[in-house]
A and B are shown apart, each in its own frame.
Chain A
Amino acid sequence: KNEVEQSPQNLTAQEGEFITINCSYSVGISALHWLQQHPGGGIVSLFMLSSGKKKHGRLIATINIQEKHSSLHITASHPRDSAVYICAVGANFGNEKLTFGTGTRLTIIP
């Protein structure tokens, strides 16, 4: 069983819809990362969080440490949001290694 599970694997939505991508993990962590992989392959870090909620523009990331669960929300989705969104966790504070989920492929239709 993968330590990091994402759902859904694929998501297609209409432009303007509110999007939620989920990430569950099975180990204690010190930080959780959300990454975006563009269709061209480049990977960009969106958020790193260890508690609560962070917001950047139309993107919101939340984490519930007790439930070992995080969500990434996109408000007013746009075709340029089409990408693969990857969740990754760092297991122990000071541990340099991240464990990655397999990603959620999001397609926003105009």
Chain B
Amino acid sequence: NAGVTQTPKFRILKIGQSMTLQCAQDMNHNYMYWYRQDPGMGLKLIYYSVGAGITDKGEVPNGYNVSRSTTEDFPLRLELAAPSQTSVYFCASSSLRGQETQYFGPGTRLLVL
């Protein structure tokens, strides 16, 4: 099992550009999450999904969109990138509920200039 994979590892965007952060898991987990981690701050939940076709907003959803067309994939879309979106983004998954162990991807470092 590869676990949770994320691409790209690192990306530089110009203000106003758009991009999609990819996340995939091969553990047949229903629950998937997107977090951002800013320096000195705890992880913040952006969006989450409890299964294919079902997504919901987390704590900091503005400027982002997600989709969940399959159990395996949970891409995060940034539209009109802003410097405030400079962060490290982590995707995670868990088998049942958020109360179960979450498995994290390696992260994507995004710099918006």
Contacts and interface: CB of A to CB of B under 8 A. Distances in A.
B43 A86 contact: yes
Contacts, number: 62
A42 B101 contact: no
B104 A93 contact: no
Interface residues of A, number: 26
B42 A102 contact: yes
B40 interface: yes
Contacts of B7: none
B90 interface: yes
Interface residues of B, number: 26
B65 interface: no
Contacts of A4: 42
A90 B88 contact: no
Contacts of B103: 45
Contact of A43 (B44, B97, B104): B104
A48 B98 CA distance: 11
Interface of A: 2, 4, 30-31, 33, 35, 41-45, 48, 86, 88, 90, 93-103
